[in-house]
Amino acid sequence: MSGFIPRTLFMGLASQPLLYWLAWGVLSLGLLALVWRLNHRRLTLDLLVLWGFIASPLVHDYDLIQLVPLLETRRLRWGAVLLSIPGWLVIIAAYSNDAAWYVFTFIAPGLLALTLWSLRSNDLLRRLPAVPLPWPHRRNQGSHPYQDSYEDQETAH
């Protein structure tokens, strides 16, 4: 079980199944509502997949390979690499320690946060007003935007 919400709840509420499932439902739906709200009341398939990897009790460590197609930007790829470092350390140093495998639950929430941050920063960039160029666009423009071409200088004298 590598979904962040179910694994975290299982560590604390394993002996109380009713409370576990109630808390799981509230936290999972709360996270979905938060993602929806942060993405301007829209849900994309990428966000739903990432949410599922955080909320689903059926996700396992090896299922994280399915997130690779979602890594479309360089920022997300580097984020995934950095988020996977603790998992590599567990594989190398603490393979038989079941509690250490908890670090794999941080990959999907980290990618969700990076994805939301990327989407929000792109929305903010699109909302910025267009800045006009400081010089008029001309065909016979010289090497410098403020310098006239050679032909324009000849005709001006």
Query: pLDDT tens per residue, the chain (157 residues)?
Result: 779 999 999 988 988 999 999 999 999 999 999 999 999 888 999 999 999 999 999 988 778 888 888 888 889 999 999 999 998 898 898 888 777 888 889 999 999 999 999 888 776 556 656 556 555 555 555 555 555 444 455 555 5
Q: What is the pLDDT of residue 101?
A: 83
The count of structural domains within the chain is: 1
**Six-digit token pair at 117?**
């941050």
Structural domain includes residue 56 = yes
Q: What is the pLDDT of residue 99?
A: 76
CA 139 to chain centre: 42
φ/ψ of 57, rounded to 5, equals -80, -5
Alpha carbon of 128 to those of 36, 120, 122, 123, 131: distances in Å? Answer: 23, 13, 10, 9, 9
**Six-digit token pair at 10?**
């299982």
Structural domain includes residue 150 = no
Domain that holds residue 39: 4-119
